[in-house]
A = this chain, B = another copy of it.
Amino acid sequence: MQKTQINVGLLGFGTIGTGVVRVFQQNAEVIRQRTGVEMRLTRIADLDITTDRGVTLPDGVLVDDADAVVTDPDIDIVIELIGGYKPALQFILKAIENGKHIVTANKALMAVHGQEIIAAASRARVDVKFEAAVGGGIPVISAIKENLCANRFSTVLGILNGTCNFILTKMTDEGSDFAPVLAEAQELGYAEADPTFDIEGVDTAHKIALLASLCFGTRIDFEQIYTEGITKVTAVDIDFATQMGYKIKLLAIARQGDGAVEVRVHPTMIPESYQLAEVDGVFNAVRLSGDFVGPVLLYGSGAGMDATASAVMGDVMSIGRSICAGAVVQTPIMGYCQDQVVDQPLLPMSEIISRYYLRFTTLDQTGVLAKISTILGQHNISIQSMIQPESHAADSVPIVLMTHEAKEADITNALHEIGQLDIIQEPTCLIRIVNDLG
């Protein structure tokens, strides 16, 4: 029997949930015109059923019991926008058991519990879509799973966290330090009251774990990803970066190596002429490199109520159309057929090759540069450029240099050795540089 109506349930009536309600209401006509079916948001569950979200719902739609959504026999698709691990995981698993297709924006859950969810969905023959989990409104997951799926990907990298990018952009534009800009971002609603997941890079690591899995057909142990946030980025380093023609971005990088996958998240200097260097404010961008398509850059709003709701609804409409056509789950949930997914090791961080920005704070003495550069040379690290500005501090001077490509282990050893020198006044600042985007 041809379905003429698809019923959708929503778990979590926060900011993004409200955005989803707004799309359903504001664009009902275009949704019908583009799917040929009525799509109705028939039930929303949230613990808070009293706060005014600025949208009007028919009586009986908003309930405080998630079970009323995940077990409702009339609901075809459940949207999960609660976030976090618990109870989102339990609700999703129960919805799957009840034959519901799932749409979620929950990158943390998919990155950490994705295998369990996929296994359950596979048994129940339902689909799980999560386009909104990475890059907000940017259609990056579909691009990998669908349009570019004939390619072998060599690299996927991107600016994946709007909060961090907003903070770094503002620090760059205003010459400010991290703490005051974070406070401002919190006031503006661009950073959460507890911003740890964002500023420590955890959110970005969740996202690159998903992108790497999708691109390389491998399971990624999220815990093993090298993750360094932006809390130690200073106005001083941004200023030196600018002088040297670079911008500092929190970049997530994943590369398919020879039998191992390289995945890392850290502040990164990017040449200012690169497109990625110009992704400012809360915008995100993802750059994919495939063996046939070459480089592809996808740019757009990485977060926010409306952009994320757009991605959620794209998934909902896709599943709705598939239900009407009588066949869902055509594309494997993680891009590769489950029996083809392999476990590749992560390349140890000590093995990566990068260029490095190093800022030493040393005593203002003769011979300092010689001592540093000698140790670097002994560790096979060669200097590509250097700035030693006039110092205004009493006894200390900064020495700033950029290296040629070097091995992380060599850098670590060299910095350890240099750190023993009595001329070194403060811990040395290290920021990795990316020139080759793959």
A345 within 8 A of B: no
Residues facing B in A325-364 (CB within 8 A) are 325-332, 335-337, 340
- Cβ-defined partner of A336 (8 Å) among B34, B294, B335: B34
Question: Is residue A150 within 8 Å, beta carbon to beta carbon, of the partner chain?
Answer: yes
Q: Which residues of B contact A379 (CB under 8 A)?
A: none
- Does B300 contact A297, Cβ atoms closer than 8 Å? yes
| A12-56 interface (Cβ within 8 A of B) | 19, 22-23, 26-27, 30-36
Assess whether A239 is interfacial by the CB under 8 Å rule. Answer: no
**Would you call A6 an interface residue if the criterion is a C-beta within 8 Å of the partner chain's C-beta atoms?**
no
- Give the oligomeric copy count: 2
A142-B147, A297-B300 known; A30-B290 Cβ under 8 A = no
Which of B149, B298, B310 interacts with A317 by CB under 8 Å? B149
**A151 on the interface (CB 8 Å rule)?**
yes
A317 contacts across to B, CB distance below 8 A? 146, 149-150
A301 within 8 A of B: yes
How far, in whole Å, are A138 and B294 apart by their CA atoms in the complex?
A: 10
Look across to chain B and name the residue whose beta carbon is closest to the beta carbon of A278: B275
CB atoms of A330 and B335 under 8 A apart: no
Report the nearest B residue to A138, measured CB to CB: B296
Q: A146-B318, A294-B306, A300-B294 are in contact. Are A329 and B340 (CB under 8 A)?
A: no
Q: Considering the complex, give the chain B residue whose CB is closest to the CB of A322.
A: B330
Cα–Cα, bound, A85→B337 (Å): 39
Distance between A197 CB and nearest chain B CB, rounded to angstroms:
24
- Evaluate contact between B337 and A33: CB separation under 8 angstroms: yes
Is the CB of A139 closer than 8 A to any CB of chain B? yes
Q: Among B32, B301, B326, which residue has its beta carbon within 8 angstroms of that of A326? A: B326
Closest to A143 in B: B139
| Given A137-B296, A147-B314, A300-B294, also A34-B327 (CB < 8 A) | no
Question: How does the 8 Å CB contact mask read for A107-136 relative to B, with 1 for contact and 0 for none?
Answer: 000000000000000000000000100000
A31 lies within 8 A of B299 (CB) = no
Residue of B148, B300, B322, B326 near A310 (CB, 8 A) is: B148
Question: Which residues in A have some Cβ–Cβ distance to B below 8 Å?
Answer: 19, 22-23, 26-27, 30-36, 131, 137-139, 142-143, 145-152, 217, 275, 278, 290-301, 304, 306-307, 309-311, 313-314, 316-318, 321-322, 324-332, 335-337, 340
Task: Across the A-B interface, give the 8 residue pairs with the lowest CB-CB distance, nearest first.
Answer: A150-B313, A139-B147, A327-B327, A325-B327, A137-B293, A296-B300, A293-B310, A292-B310
